[in-house]
Amino acid sequence: MRHLKGGQAFSPIEKVLNEMPFDNIGVLSNGLPYSFYQQFYHIRVAQSDILAYCRDDDYKAPDWPGDYWPEFSFPTDEKEWNSLIEAYINERQKFCDLLLNPETDLLKPFSSNKEHTMLRQAELIIEHTAYHTGQLYVIYRILNQ
């Protein structure tokens, strides 16, 4: 669970989320294609999608790439931003709870795809979050020099 929450080989995502001033989260800078908000939104949607894939027998994948990225570079307001962070943390905990459930077989292939297991999905969330957390830090550093 420590890798899912960060702080082992990479910084916990909450650290950069807490350090980034709200006024900067929607800024597009230095030719970067995504704002801080858009990057974090994408992290949250991907994690939510993986959780749904693991829990729902009738899972249907969102459309790529449209459903994985927000339309705008900024949230409507600070309340929406805080709700996004809260949803991310809650869904991460739900995934951790699923992994820790004694009935969860981490190595059992999914019926929908025999190459996918819960362990693979956990690794996918860890790698995806770590990758994009690095991008959040790049955006943070550019905007807060």
CATH number at residue 79: 1.20.120.450
- 50 pLDDT higher than 70: yes
Name the residue with higher pLDDT: 112 or 2. Answer: 112
* Torsion sign across C-alpha atoms 73, 79, 82, 88: negative
Average pLDDT value for the chain:
92
How many distinct structural domains can be found in the chain? Answer: 1
Q: What is residue 118's predicted lDDT score, i.e. its pLDDT?
A: 96
Of the pLDDT bands very low, low, confident and very high (cuts 50, 70, 90), residue 111 is confident
Name the residue with higher pLDDT: 30 or 59. Answer: 59
Q: Which domain holds residue 62?
A: 2-143
Compute the distance between CA of residue 46 and CA of residue 40 in angstroms, rounded to an integer: 10
Name the residue with higher pLDDT: 111 or 137. Answer: 137
Average pLDDT over every residue of 65-88: 96
Of the pLDDT bands very low, low, confident and very high (cuts 50, 70, 90), residue 30 is confident
- What pTM, to 2 d.p., does this model score? 0.94
Q: Tell me if the bond preceding 12 is cis, omega within 30° of 0.
A: no
Of the pLDDT bands very low, low, confident and very high (cuts 50, 70, 90), residue 11 is confident
* Torsion sign across C-alpha atoms 105, 111, 114, 117: negative
Q: What is residue 5's predicted lDDT score, i.e. its pLDDT?
A: 63
Q: What tokens were used for 79?
A: 């309340």
